[in-house]
Structure 1
Amino acid sequence: MDFKKFTSSYLARLSQTAQNFPYDEVQILADSLRVAWGQKRVIYLCGNGGSAGNAIHIANDWIYGAGVNEGGGLRVEALSANAAVLTCLGNDIGYENIFSEQLRVKADAGDILIVLSGSGNSPNVVSALVQGNSLGMKTFAILGFDGGRCKSLAQHAIHFPTDDMQISEDLQLIVGHICMQWLSKEGKK
């Protein structure tokens, strides 16, 4: 297949998946972020691989971009960002606990957890949602494929039914960017 046809096919699949955009769940996320911003709550993001990179990217956008007109953005932490913490916890208590242990130590009831996952089945993001729910956090998951275990564990699942990991990860960033631009225009609550 030539490159132009391949690219057109990829963009068509991305567009087709986005056609059934879960507006209501994304609005709940955006509204929850706005309230958390005004209340100085902390938003935690986590994921593996490309989703870990997206968690860091989205944290950057919400810390700076969302608040550029407000004199400061949201209090956000990507749990996938600190290699020393990740390798310590992975080595000492198991990779499945690298996010849940950070939440146990840092998070408070009323904070927000957002899990990014293509499959929704990675043990460490599943464990993060279990921990977040037990702490009284507001939990979200942005998911692809069939949503996996995270779809039923998250209080709010933003699900894009696609069997393409890269399109799933593209849509994580699209949701993050929509929220960032909306928050930038709306300001704190």
Structure 2
Amino acid sequence: MDSIKAALNASADLKRQVADTLAEDIHNAIEQVRRSFESGGKLLLMGNGGSAADAQHLAAEFIGRYKLERNPVPAIALTVDASILTCIGNDYSFDDVFARQVKGLARKEDTVLAISTSGNSGNVIRAVEEAKKIGAATIGFLGKGGGKLKDMVDIPIVVPSADTARIQEVHITIGHILCETLDREF
């Protein structure tokens, strides 16, 4: 019982810390995604492992709905097409699985959301580099100090933790805040 309470309290404490220190960065990310949607752009999301699941989850909330009935909002998880991922991984390299998709799909009015608990995922870094070449805005949901991505993305949101599970819990919470805020507007 004590370990359950400790885990829940650790998660809650980290979220309180994020509320106190990252609310402005989260607001800036929401504003950037809003600008993309208002200008006819889309949101491209990516990550590996649990972060891939978060990318898919958030894209589904925008295309489907979060809480309110509304028209779909253009969001694409770059983690879902097994044929594209295995083709690029085989014919190029795993480091290119997101970069090739960004190069083919992203436009300057889009926002690319890079989710990486370490901030050092090679395939996510390459995709952000491609997004920068195109002129698309970039946001990072990061942790563990932010890694290389912290200095690469336009809006880094670095969860102040080294615990992957706690970082992912905060990332999906921030994602839900993004969805909830934009849900009311679109």
TM-score > 0.5, shorter chain as reference: yes
Per the alignment, in what secondary structure is the counterpart of residue 150 of structure 1?
helix
Gaps of 5+ in 2: none
Gaps of 5+ in 1: none
Amino acid at match of 1:120: G
How far apart in 2 are the matches of 1:157 and 1:165? 17
Matched residue, 1:36:
36
Matched residue, 2:92:
93
Q: Displacement of 1:37 after TM fit? A: 2.1
Residues 105-144 of structure 1: CA deviation (Å, up to 9, x unaligned):
1111121000011101110011111111111000000011
| Alignment of 1:16 onto 2:19 | no
Amino acid at match of 1:5: D
**Do 1:43 and 1:111's aligned partners in 2 also have CA atoms closer than 8 Å?**
yes
Amino acid at match of 1:82: D
How far apart in 2 are the matches of 1:74 and 1:67? 13
Q: Displacement of 1:73 after TM fit? A: 2.6
> TM-score, normalization: structure 2?
0.93
Do the aligned partners of residues 67 and 9 (structure 1) sit closer, same or farther apart at CA in structure 2, a change above 3 Å counting? closer
How far apart in 1 are the matches of 2:150 and 2:69? 34
Q: Displacement of 1:66 after TM fit? A: 4.6
Dislocated runs of 4+, deviation >6 Å: none
How far apart in 2 are the matches of 1:175 and 1:27? 10
Matched residue, 1:132:
131
Q: How does 1:68-83 map to 2 (within 5 A)?
A: 68-70=68-70, 72-83=71-82
How far apart in 1 are the matches of 2:44 and 2:56? 10
Per the alignment, in what secondary structure is the counterpart of residue 17 of structure 2?
coil
How far apart in 1 are the matches of 2:4 and 2:61? 27
How far apart in 2 are the matches of 1:31 and 1:64? 21
Per the alignment, in what secondary structure is the counterpart of residue 121 of structure 1?
coil
Matched residue, 1:181:
180
- How many residue pairs get aligned? The number is 183
